[in-house]
Structure 1
Amino acid sequence: MDAIDRKIISILQENAETPIQAIADMVNLSTTPCWRRVQKLKELGVIKKQVVLCDSAMLNVGVTVFISVRTNQHSQAWLNKFANHVKDIPEVIEFYRMSGDVDYLIRVVVPDIATYDTVYKKLIRIADLHDVSSSFAMEQIKYTTALPVDYCG
């Protein structure tokens, strides 16, 4: 991956609807070679998919909750069951297995605390959890889906 590919990725991460001609102009290529590079990035899996980012407040899910989960269970079967059920909860938008004191970190968006309580009750029904701790975001200071491109080869 060269500097042109990195620039193309940066442009598309800012706006995936940028016309190929505009991208080509920004990276000093003609349209066809630029289009080929984009296709190659897709084939390689560098570009996984193109999505629409929505305003959480406009969709009435402006409350962000970070849920820390600790468990006494560490078998693959337990993880599979827990993960499969958590993935099915639509309010869960991020879900990570962690190192350190917390086993899992879950990011949830909801309209209010009452709806969060419903999500919480779903979580504790799924599996035996040792500890569940929730933190409500007070203010979003930075939010981006754009990944840094300076580290790819």
Structure 2
Amino acid sequence: MDKLDKHILSVLQKDATQTTAEIAEQVGLSTTPCWKRIQRLQEIGIIKSKVTLLDPDKLNLKLTVFVHIKTARHEPTWLKQFASHTAAFEEVIEIYRLSGEYDYMLKVMVADMQGYDNFYKRFIAGVPLTDVTSSFAMEKIKNETSLPLSNV
């Protein structure tokens, strides 16, 4: 991946709705070579997909909750059950397995505290857990979807 590929990726991360001609103009290429580079970046899997980012506030998803989970179970069968159960909730938008004090962390988005309580009751009923701790985001200071490309 060269400097032009990084520039193309940077432009696409900011606004993937632009036409290839618009992207090409910004990176200093003609349309066809730019299109070929984009196609290659898709073929090799660097560009996974193009999505539309939605405004959570306008969709009444005003509460972001980080759910920290401890478990005494670590066998593959439990992990498969946990992953399947957790991923089935549309409120869960990110799932991480962690090192350190907690085993897993979820990012959950809901309308309000009642919405979280409803989620929580359904969530804990489906898989054995040792400890569930919730942290409520009070303010979003930075929320970036673009990946850093300077050291790639």
What TM-score bracket applies, with the shorter chain setting the length? over 0.9
Letter in 2 for 1:90: E
Give deviations 1:59-97, integer Å, cap 9, x for gaps: 011110000000000001000001001101010001111
Superposed counterparts of 1:29-44, under 5 Å: 29-44=29-44
Q: Secondary structure at the match of 1:106?
A: strand
Superposed counterparts of 1:68-79, under 5 Å: 68-79=68-79
Aligned-CA RMSD value = 0.7
Superposed counterparts of 1:1-153, under 5 Å: 1-152=1-152
Output the TM-score relative to the length of structure 2: 0.98
Q: Which runs of 5+ in 1 are unaligned?
A: none
Q: Which runs of 5+ in 2 are unaligned?
A: none
Q: Which deviates the most, 122-131 or 69-78?
A: 122-131
The alpha carbon displacement at 1:3 in A equals 0.4
Contact 2:85 2:127 survives alignment (8 Å) = no
Output the TM-score relative to the length of structure 1: 0.97
The alpha carbon displacement at 1:57 in A equals 0.8
Distance in 2 (alpha carbons) for counterparts of 1:151 and 1:50? 23
Distance in 1 (alpha carbons) for counterparts of 2:126 and 2:70? 14
Q: Secondary structure at the match of 1:80?
A: helix
Q: Secondary structure at the match of 2:96?
A: strand
Equivalent pairs counted in the alignment come to 152
Letter in 2 for 1:91: E
Structure 1 residue ranges, 4+ long, deviating more than 3 angstroms after superposition: none
Q: Secondary structure at the match of 1:58?
A: helix
